[in-house]
Amino acid sequence: MRRNTVISTLVTTAFAAAAVAAAAPAMAEAVVYENQNVKSLKPGSEPETAEWAALDIPTGYTRQRLDWHTVGFLENQGGRQILLDLRPKTNTVKELRAERAALKAEAGDDHHEYAFVVNREDAAHVTARWVFSYAEPGTEDTEPFTSVMLMGGNRLTVVGKKSERKFVRDIRQHVVRSVVFPS
């Protein structure tokens, strides 16, 4: 191999490696979703009484049933969580406001609220959206970013880190747009 060919090959390889390295962070932010079906069936109930929903979840999340009416999707590497509760204790705006007030009273200055939005129930897919940051005492989570949405009597919660707020918000928006409840 001639010297010019070797130098040309090395330069081409270096440019290709630099292009891949420069593109890597952008590719890491790309999220691929897969549709998941979630069902809640009270123990001892007939199968036709089950509630269900379909929603898009990013790939790389592990599905975990938390109880008979709640399914969690936990990110294997980044710690993000998506929880869908088809029979939540708090399923009205009034109850969500009470939960919000209780958290504010308990957490004090450790609680930071980003949004609390209530829509007319007949006008929007999301009845209420509450976005806040609060770390439970005794946990190692130092910067949680939590979004709670009431949707058709169900509760969708998306949790990530404050430092990844935009990325977590993008995931939340996609998941919310994808949720389908039977009519």
What residue ranges do the domains of the chain occupy?
Answer: 1-30, 32-178
Give pLDDT tens digits for 78-93.
Answer: 789 999 999 999 899 9
Q: How far from the centroid of its chain's Cα atoms is residue 34's Cα? A: 13
Per-residue pLDDT at 38 exceeds 90: yes
With tokens 């993008």, the residue in question is: 170
With tokens 């970013």, the residue in question is: 145
Query: Residue 74: its pLDDT value, please?
Result: 96
Question: b/e per residue, 168-177, with b = 16+ CB within 10 A?
Answer: bbebbeebbe
Quick one: fold of 32-178? Protein Transport Mog1p; Chain A (3.40.1000)
- The model's pTM: 0.79
Question: b/e per residue, 115-132, with b = 16+ CB within 10 A?
Answer: eeeeeeeeeeebbbbbbb
Q: How far from the centroid of its chain's Cα atoms is residue 83's Cα? A: 7
Q: What is the mean pLDDT of the chain?
A: 83
**Number of residues assigned to the chain:** 183
Give pLDDT tens digits for 126-150.
Answer: 999 999 998 777 776 668 899 999 9
Query: Residue 110: its pLDDT value, please?
Result: 85
* Alpha-carbon span 161 to 143, nearest angstrom: 5
Query: Residue 137: its pLDDT value, please?
Result: 75
